[in-house]
Copies of this chain bind each other. A is one copy, B any other.
């Protein structure tokens, strides 16, 4: 059974027409064991390597943002200019390696649940994100 059928259904559910390009995007994003992190640029590169015809940047941006809006992707904030996305949409936190610019997932046992005592009237909490910045520890090696 071709896996693409799932993606066609998935796209329909989300209200997107299943086109060649979008199915390809789905394949690259979701046809894998583990969730992963990527930038739009990464994604375009991956797709270009796997397709004969090239895909437009605009299409990738549009589709990725459509997925994000529907909750199939999560955006991650890091100070660099680039926007990272995560195919792991469950609530979790991240380590960011400032040397390699690599993002690493934390699971529930790595960080205790964050308890926010402050409330702001008329506002609800959309999300709580923890970013732990790490870098090589040269202290001991010198």
Contact across chains for A110 and B120 when beta carbons are under 8 A apart: no
Chain B neighbourhood of A104, CB < 8 A: 120
Residues of B within 8 A of A136 (CB): 122-124
Chain B residues, Cβ within 8 Å of A76: 79
CA distance A100 to B15 in the complex (A): 29
Chain B residues lying within 8 Å of A112, measured Cβ to Cβ, are 112, 114-115
Q: Are A130 and B132 in contact (CB under 8 A)?
A: no
Are A117 and B109 in touch, CB under 8 angstroms?
yes
Q: Chain A interface mostly helix, strand, loop or mixed?
A: strand
Copy number in the complex reads 2
A135 within 8 A of B: yes
Is B111 a contact of A134 with CB atoms below 8 Å? no
Query: What is the bound-complex CA distance between A130 and B95, given in angstroms?
Result: 12
CB distance A122 to B95 under 8 Å? no
Q: Do residues B131 and A129 form an inter-chain contact, with CB atoms below 8 A?
A: yes
Whole-angstrom distance from the CB of A132 to the nearest CB of chain B? 5
A88 CB, min distance to chain B CBs, angstroms: 16
**Given A78-B77, A110-B118, A115-B112, A129:B124 Cβ within 8 A:** no
A129 closest partner in B (C-beta)? B131
Q: Which residues of A contact B (CB under 8 A)?
A: 75-79, 81, 83, 95, 97-98, 104, 106, 109-112, 114-118, 120, 122-137, 139
Q: List 5 A-B contacts (CB under 8 A).
A: A106-B118, A126-B135, A127-B132, A130-B130, A131-B131
